[in-house]
Amino acid sequence: MGRILRALAGEGNLRVVAADTGDVVEEARLRHGLSPTATAALGRAMTGALLLAQLLLKTPKERLTLRLEGDGPLGGVVVEADPMGGVRGYVKNPKAEVPLREDGKLNVGAAVGQGFLRVDRALPNGEIYTSTVPLVSGEIAEDLAHYLWQSEQIPSALLLGVRVKGEGEVEAAGGIAVQVLPGASEEVLGRLEANLKDFGPLTERLRKEGLEGALAALFQGLGLERTDLRALGYAENEIPARFRCRCNREKALEALVFFTPEEREDMIVKDGGAEVVCHWCGAAYRFSPEEIRSLVAEVRCPDCGALWLYPKADGTLFRIEGDTCRCGRRVELPGERRAEA
Ligand SMILES: [Zn+2]
Ligand SMILES: [Zn+2]
């Protein structure tokens, strides 16, 4: 299990979030069968999303989705995190690999490529804030810091690291985010900059000194003080971080609504049923002909009953236009998770 800590430093003007995500990233690697560079890319993105969720989200129900839409061989990286330490994610081409950099490190920037970083924040009322910024390097930490500055006007420093060994097994992974608040003095900033310069690779620190040791080194002379998370409503003074998917059998079955009844009958005849694989976590759900035939042929608004989706007589699907129902509710169609894969 991973863990997340929060702290203040620099006379309360540096807001710090740190995460040890070794186990979380290893689970993602095993679930998706990731190549070493895909492990590093997804691991950095998942860790970054967990840190950003702490910095940006205000209530447990909010969620944050990062999409690295680059033109590199990975074909895109998508992760979703919540402030309770839950995170899930996938890479479009999990086996893609690129040559190592000249210094022998995994070349995440080349694997991600050039393109855009899109961040969606889902609020408890169903509203979604989206912002998109160009990718700076595809190395992810830099891209997320650029996003924080461009879209949220938050000056920050971000360290993210994933180290793999042998067959690609995760040896260490984690991240530290520092948000610089407006009251930070020149002295505090100078000290932080000097500490960052001497810090070296984060995964090296995590391996040798652990998360607490890494934090002590980075904030040496800056008076680091752990935030009491219990006072903020968490069960412990650290937040457990886990690979956590929100899929289940019921939702997986609903995903089949996006096929027409004829297509579904076809699956029954050809395959004796259907299998739905969750692209977020790799879980496979197998359905019997009876279950498939039990599917409702239409989706209606739970609030006002307006038709959102139904198969038309010509075999195509009617889908409600726009993202908002006539009653104001945000339209959520079960099959759209599939359309994203
Ligand atoms: Zn899943
Ligand atoms: Zn409605």
Separation of 339 CA from ligand 1 center, angstroms?
A: 15
Q: Which of the ligands is closest to the CA of residue 301?
A: 2
Same domain for 227 and 253, yes or no, is no
Separation of 195 CA from ligand 1 center, angstroms?
A: 40
Q: What is the pLDDT of residue 321?
A: 86
**Domain end residue (candidates: 196, 213, 243):** 243
How far is it, in rounded angstroms, from Cα 234 to Cα 336?
33
Q: Which of the ligands is closest to the CA of residue 328?
A: 2
Separation of 291 CA from ligand 1 center, angstroms?
A: 19
For 120-155, what is each residue's pLDDT tens digit? 998 888 788 999 999 999 999 999 999 999 999 999
Same domain for 45 and 139, yes or no, is yes
130 has which bridge partners?
A: 120
Same domain for 24 and 149, yes or no, is yes
Separation of 36 CA from ligand 2 center, angstroms?
A: 46
Same domain for 138 and 59, yes or no, is yes
For 44-54, what is each residue's pLDDT tens digit? 999 999 999 99
**Domain end residue (candidates: 205, 225, 243):** 243
How far is it, in rounded angstroms, from Cα 65 to Cα 52?
10
Q: What is the pLDDT of residue 335?
A: 52
Q: Which of the ligands is closest to the CA of residue 337?
A: 1
Separation of 308 CA from ligand 2 center, angstroms?
A: 9
Separation of 124 CA from ligand 2 center, angstroms?
A: 18
Q: Which of the ligands is closest to the CA of residue 320?
A: 2
In three-state secondary structure terms, 73 is: coil
Q: Which of the ligands is closest to the CA of residue 279?
A: 1
Q: Say how many domains are in the chain.
A: 2
**What is the domain range of residue 273?**
249-340
Q: What is the pLDDT of residue 117?
A: 98
Q: What is the CATH number of the domain that holds 333?
A: 3.90.1280.10
Q: What is the pLDDT of residue 125?
A: 83
- The edge-to-edge listing of strands for the beta sheet with 317-319 is 299-300, 307-311, 317-319
What is the DSSP pairing of strand 86-91 with strand 239-243?
A: parallel
Same domain for 19 and 163, yes or no, is yes
Separation of 326 CA from ligand 2 center, angstroms?
A: 5
Separation of 244 CA from ligand 1 center, angstroms?
A: 8
Same domain for 112 and 171, yes or no, is yes
For residue 338, the number of C-alpha atoms closer than 13 Å in the C-beta half-sphere is 15
Q: Which of the ligands is closest to the CA of residue 331?
A: 2
Q: What is the pLDDT of residue 296?
A: 66
Give, as one character, the DSSP assignment of residue 298: -
Low-confidence ranges of the chain (pLDDT < 70): 296, 311-316, 334-341
Q: Which residues contact 70 (CB under 8 A, 6 or more apart)?
A: 76, 77, 112, 113, 114, 115, 116, 135, 138
Separation of 322 CA from ligand 2 center, angstroms?
A: 12
Q: Which helix (H) or strand (E) holds 287?
A: strand 284-287
Q: Which of the ligands is closest to the CA of residue 282?
A: 1
How far is it, in rounded angstroms, from Cα 77 to Cα 61?
23
Same domain for 223 and 271, yes or no, is no
Same domain for 336 and 239, yes or no, is no
Separation of 332 CA from ligand 2 center, angstroms?
A: 11
Separation of 251 CA from ligand 1 center, angstroms?
A: 10
For 28-37, what is each residue's pLDDT tens digit? 999 999 999 9
Same domain for 45 and 59, yes or no, is yes
Three-state secondary structure string covering 215-256:
HHHHCCCCCCEECCHHHHCCCCCCEEEEECCCCCHHHHHHHH
Separation of 5 CA from ligand 1 center, angstroms?
A: 26
Q: What is the pLDDT of residue 259?
A: 79
Same domain for 298 and 319, yes or no, is yes
Q: Which of the ligands is closest to the CA of residue 306?
A: 2
Same domain for 265 and 201, yes or no, is no
pTM (two decimals): 0.86
**Domain end residue (candidates: 191, 223, 243):** 243
Q: What is the CATH number of the domain that holds 192?
A: 3.55.30.10
Strands (DSSP E) along 45-127, which ranges? 63-70, 77-81, 86-91, 115-122
Neighbours of 294 (CB within 10 A): 10
Same domain for 253 and 210, yes or no, is no
